[in-house]
Structures are given as structure tokens and as C-alpha cells.
Amino acid sequence: MVYLLTEVVELDTNYLRFPPDKFYYELSFEDRKSYRNLTILPSRWNKSAVLDFKGVIKIGRMSFLCRGDIERDSLFTRAEAKTKVQLRKPKGYQYDSIDVVIEAYTWKPTLAGKYTFCNGVPIDLYILVGKSLEGYGVKENKK
């Protein structure tokens, strides 16, 4: 999983699209008996839609703020180091041009499919950062 997150960060090597002082990646994980779901999308420190994060993964200068069922899966382990972050959720969220760009990423996901390189039920994976990940793709099962 660390390799996948590193690849996401390396899509914007010079941090031109998502400068770390303005953006973080929201990593949402859902763990149910019949499926697991992981979604990654960019968000802004000063305009977060949610505040219920449970952990932080730092890769280079970028942060992945984690929410959902991360403590229920062996993909995620608690570290001893503490990381402090500061988020702002404005009252009366105002949709703006950056929100439009981020929303457009959902129309053509960076990566969408089943992640099968881990134990347990495969993970439905959705990475929505606006560029394609080289070396990753969807392998279709032949019937």
C-alpha cells in the first residue's frame, strides 16, 4: 500500500497541482464483511468538507488524512509518532472553481478497480487525482 501512496504523491513531483501547504489527500477506507473500499482524493487544509479523520500518513511532504475503518484492517498500523495537523471546515461551505476541478477528477478516475495484492477480501480502489498512474491498470477477467 505504501508503494501505491508513493506513486500518487509522485504524480505531482514538484507539487505544482497540489502544494502540501494548501492540499492533502483524503484517504477513506471502508471495511465490511463482503467488501473493502478505499478512495483517495485531494482536499484543502483551509476548506475541508469533513473533520472526522483518524490518522495521518506522511509520504514526502504530502499528507494522507485517513478516515473510516482504518483501525479494523491490517493494511494500517498505528505508529508511535504523533503528527499534528490543522484543518478548517468553513461554515456555509462555498463551492468554488477548485471544487469544480476536484469534482471533475471523479469523471475520469486515476485508477478504479479491485486491488488484490493483499490478504482478505479485495479492495475496491478509487484514486481521483486527475492523472493516470503508470504501471497500474485494470486487469479484466476473461470468462
pLDDT tens by residue, 108-118: 888 888 777 66
Could you tell me if residue 75 is inside a domain?
yes
pLDDT reported for residue 17: 85
CA angle 6, 110, 137 (to 5 degrees): 85
pLDDT reported for residue 138: 58
Could you tell me if residue 46 is inside a domain?
yes
Could you tell me if residue 136 is inside a domain?
no
On whether the pTM is more than 0.95, the answer is: no
Q: Sign of dihedral through CA atoms 25, 17, 49, 60? A: positive
Q: How many other C-beta atoms lie within 10 A of the C-beta of residue 57? A: 18
Asked whether the predicted pLDDT for residue 137 surpasses 70, the reply is no
Mean pLDDT across the stretch 75-104?
A: 81
Could you tell me if residue 107 is inside a domain?
yes
Q: What is the spatial distance between Cα 97 and Cα 58, in angstroms, rounded to a whole number?
A: 27
pLDDT reported for residue 81: 72
Over residues 58-86, the pLDDT tens digits come to 999 999 999 999 888 777 877 777 778 88
Could you tell me if residue 133 is inside a domain?
no
Could you tell me if residue 140 is inside a domain?
no
Residue 15: closest CA among 61, 63, 51: 61
**Domain hosting residue 62, numbered range:** 2-127
> How many domains is the chain partitioned into structurally?
1
pLDDT reported for residue 20: 94
Q: What is the spatial distance between Cα 40 and Cα 125, in angstroms, rounded to a whole number?
A: 8
Could you tell me if residue 92 is inside a domain?
yes
Could you tell me if residue 141 is inside a domain?
no
Residue 25: closest CA among 63, 54, 57, 61: 63
